[in-house]
Amino acid sequence: MSLHDALYHVVALTANSNVDKMLAQCLQYQPQYAVMVEEQAAEKLSLALKDTAVEVLSGVESLEFVAQLEQVDYVMAAIVGAAGLLPNLAAAKAGKRVLLANKESLVMSGKLFMDAVHDNNATLLPIDSEHNAIFQCLPVSGQQGVTQILLTASGGPFRTRDIDTLHDITPEQAVAHPNWVMGQKISVDSATMMNKGLEVIEACWLFELSTNEIQVVIHPQSTIHSMVSYNDGSVLAQLGNPDMRTPIAYGLAWPKRLESGVAPLDLFEVGRLDFEKPDFQRFPCLRLAYEAHQAGGNATIALNAANEIAVDAFLNKKLRFTDIPLLIENVLEQSISGTPVAIDEILIQDRLSRQQAELWINENISNRFKG
C-alpha cells in the first residue's frame, strides 16, 4: 500500500522502454492505461499484462492522449529531455494541474508553454527541488518585494577537481553524484552544471524574471534547496534532506501539505552550510545557458538540443567531458536569431541543432578515437 492511496488514483503510467519497472508498477497500481514510447517495449508489456484490465499503448501520440484524459486531474511531467515537450504542452492545453519536473519544456518553448497554461486555466507547479523551494519562499501572490532568486547547486562531483584534469573524466565518474540519485543524463548535466543553466532558464519563465535577477550559488551540502531575497534585507530559504518526495508531495497537496515519508532535517547532523560563487571557467555550460536565454528562444532550443547530443556522445565515449561545452557553443553560434511562436518552428530548430551537433562530432571528434 502507498502512503496516500485514499487520496490519489493512478489513471495512466508512462515510460520509454523499461518494461520490468513498468510491469511492477502496473501490477501494484492497476492503471487504466500504460504507455511505452518504444513499440517493441509496448508489445512485450502488453503480453505480460494480458490477464489484467490495463490497456497498453505506444508512441508519443499516446503520451499526449493520456495527458489530456478527462478523468486525469494531475499530470506529473517528468519525462527527461525534449521528449517531454509535446505531452507536457498537451496537459497544459487540457487545463490540468501540471507538476513540472521537465525543465526542457520551458527551455524550448517558454512563452508558448506559459501562454498555454494561462489561456487554459491550467495550474503549473514546479517539482524540481530548486524551483519548488523558490515557489515555497515567494509571496502568496505576485512578486512583491522580491529582488533576487538564489538558485542553489551542489557543484557536482568535480567542484574541487584540478581543472587541468577535467578532460580525463570518464562517464562512470560523471554519473556518480555526491548527493542525489539520478539518471545518467541528469547526472552528467549536474557535473557540467548545464542542469543548473537549464534551471536558470526555467526559473526565468516560471517566475517572470530576467537572468540578471537569478544568482546561482554553489552549496555542496544540498540542504538549502534555494532562496528568495527581498528588498527589506530578508532572505527566505527552504531547507530539507535531498529527497524528491518532498517537492512531489508539496505539488500533489498544494496549497495544503501532506506527509512525504522523508525524515526530518537534523541540523546538528548537517553541522555546516557552505556557499561558493560558480566559476565559469570550470563550468562553461552555465555561462552558455545564461547567454542563450539572453539571445532568445531559438538559442535556448539549440542549447538544449546540442547538450542532449553531447551528453549522449560522452556517455557512449565518443566525446571527452571537456568537449561538451565546445560542441554546444558551436551549435549556438549557428542557431537562428529570435524566438519561435509556433510548435512547428520549435521542432524545426530542435532538429536542425541536433543535426549540427552530430555533424560537429563527425568532423571534429571521431578521428581522435580511431586506432
Residue 334 belongs to a domain with what CATH number? 1.10.1740.10
Residues 281 and 151 in one domain: yes
> Into how many domains does the chain fold?
2
Q: Which residue has the cell 527589506?
A: 232
Cβ contact 251:161 at 8 Å: no
pLDDT at 316: 95
Residue 74 within a domain: no
**Domain presence at residue 196:** yes
**Interatomic CA distance for residues 290 and 297, integer angstroms:** 12
% of the chain at pLDDT higher than 90:
89
Is the residue at 159 inside a domain? yes
Same domain, 278 and 300: no
pLDDT of 141 above 90: no
Which residues form the domain of 283? Answer: 132-288
Average pLDDT over residues 82-101: 95
243 with 262, same domain: the answer is yes
Average pLDDT over residues 171-198: 89
Q: Is 146 in the same domain as 284?
A: yes
C-alpha cell at 264: 526530518
- Is residue 254 over pLDDT 70? yes
Closest CA to 156 of 170, 128, 177: 177
Residue 275 lies in a domain: yes
The neighbour count for residue 27, using CB atoms within 10 Å, is: 12
**278 and 153 in one domain?**
yes
Distances (CA, A) of 193 to 52, 69, 72, 84, 177: 44, 36, 35, 21, 12
Q: Give the global pTM.
A: 0.92
Q: C-alpha grid cell for residue 300?
A: 535556448
For residue 6, tell me if it sits in a domain.
no
CA 224/CA 152 separation, integer angstroms: 7
pLDDT of residue 144: 85
Among 271, 288, 305, the domain-final residue is: 288
Same domain membership, residue 211 and residue 257: yes
What digits encode the pLDDT tens for the residues 279-338?
999 999 999 999 999 999 999 999 999 999 999 999 999 999 999 999 999 999 999 888
pLDDT at 371: 41
One-letter amino acid at 281 equals Q
Please name the amino acid found at residue 256. Answer: K
| Domain-ending residue, one of 288, 307, 327 | 288
List of residues 6+ apart from 5 with CB closer than 8 A: none
pLDDT band at 368; cut points 50, 70, 90: low
What radius of gyration, in Å, describes the C-alpha atoms of the chain? 21
Assess whether pLDDT exceeds 50 at residue 261: yes
Which amino acid, residue 343?
A: I
C-alpha span between 329 and 349 (Å, rounded):
15
Q: Is residue 7 part of a domain?
A: no
Model confidence at 80, in pLDDT bands (50, 70, 90)? confident
Q: What is the average pLDDT score of the chain?
A: 94
The C-alpha angle with vertex 139 and arms to 133 and 140, in degrees rounded to 5, equals 100
Query: What's the CA gap between 255 and 237, in Å, rounded?
Result: 18
| pLDDT of the residue at 96 | 98
Per mean pLDDT, which range of 41-55, 78-92, 118-132, 177-191 is the poorest?
A: 177-191
Q: Are 305 and 342 part of one and the same domain?
A: yes
Q: Which of 12-26, 113-127, 317-331, 354-368 has the lowest mean pLDDT?
A: 354-368
Helices (H), 34-144: 39-48, 60-67, 85-93, 104-119, 129-137
Same domain flag for 256 and 312: no
Regarding whether 283 and 308 lie in a shared domain, the answer is no
Averaged over 142-149, what is the pLDDT? 88
Assigned C-alpha cell, 230: 527581498
Same domain, yes or no: 256 and 351: no
User: Is 273 among the domain residues?
Assistant: yes
* Closest by CA position to 134, among listed 198, 242, 75, 214: 214
Same domain, 141 and 280: yes
Runs of H (alpha helix) within 226-283:
245-253, 267-270
* Grid cell in block for residue 31: 492503471
Same domain as 272, residue 142: yes
Specify the DSSP class assigned to residue 169.
Answer: -
Tell me the sheet residues that pair with 36: 15, 58
Which of 232, 255, 288 is at the close of a domain? 288
pLDDT in tens, 19-57: 999 999 999 999 999 999 999 999 999 999 999 999 999
* Among the listed residues 154, 152, 188, 182, the one whose alpha carbon sits nearest the alpha carbon of residue 170: 188
- Three-state secondary-structure class, residue 154: coil
